[in-house]
Amino acid sequence: MALLSTPILPRRATLAKIWEMTSAADKNPPQSPTLLTAEERPWPVKALTVLLFVQSVGLLTLAVYNFITLDLGQALVTETLIALLFGTAAGSLAFSALSLLALVAALGFFGLWRTAWLNGMVVQGLMLFIALVMYFQGERFYTFVMMIYGIFMVIYLHHPDVQATFRPNVTPDGLEEVL
């Protein structure tokens, strides 16, 4: 019953505040957003830029390592050779694509692109997924390193300064500013 007795329309004082906000916004239009300089960027954004570059290089190294460690001596049967080549090529291709995506995310963090945070989270999610698949297929020496690095990056991407840097600016009338 208490839910039915609450008023649906906002109170008169709230409407007056909304009217004041919209009239104030008309008098003082929002300034055009400026890009932050290197000195104004929060240090977690700078650190994540470097960490994403390091991750990109590490994933590219893993792609090359997976391709180089192909042992053709084990593959005596043609079906085994095809399966071995397909598995190695798929792993190398996955690491190469993930390395490229990590590089794009790092460049996005450097340029403060609006989608950089999302790209960074996608990189971490895909890397953790690949690490889990590798773990269940058979333990490799770098699987746990990938998992620990990915978890650290996810936690670090949720730092309040990082989220505040990439949060869209909202005007008083509820619309997002276009950068």
pLDDT at 15 over 60: no
d(CA 128, CA 126): 5
- Cα distances from 44 to residues 114, 125, 153, 160, in angstroms, run 16, 20, 11, 9
pLDDT in tens, 153-167: 999 999 988 888 888
pLDDT at 30 over 50: no
Phi, psi at residue 176, to the nearest 5°?
Answer: -80, 140
133 DSSP assignment: H
For 96-102, what is the mean pLDDT? 94
Give residue 34's pLDDT band: very low, low, confident or very high (50, 70, 90): very low
pLDDT at 7 over 80: no
Identify the pLDDT of residue 123: 95
pTM of this prediction?
0.68
Identify the pLDDT of residue 33: 41
Token pair for residue 104? 């794009």
pLDDT in tens, 114-173: 889 999 999 999 999 999 988 888 777 888 999 999 999 999 999 988 888 888 766 666
Give the list of residues 6+ apart from residue 64 with CB closer than 8 angstroms, or none.
Answer: 92
Name the region of 140 (left: φ>0; alpha: ψ -120 to 50; beta: rest): beta
Identify the pLDDT of residue 175: 58
Q: Distance between alpha carbon 103 and the CA centroid of its chain, in Å?
A: 11
Q: Please answer whether residues 101 and 63 qualify as being in contact, where contact means their C-beta atoms are separated by less than 8 angstroms.
A: no
- Residue of 25, 17, 69, 2 whose CA lies nearest to 171: 25
Identify the pLDDT of residue 126: 94
The beta-carbon contacts of 122-128 under 8 Å, at least 24 apart in sequence, are 123/52, 123/55, 123/98, 124/150, 124/153, 124/154, 124/157, 126/98, 126/101, 127/55, 127/59, 127/98, 128/154
Q: Which of 11-15, 21-25, 88-92 has the highest mean pLDDT?
A: 88-92
- Cα distances from 99 to residues 82, 112, 149, in angstroms, run 25, 19, 14
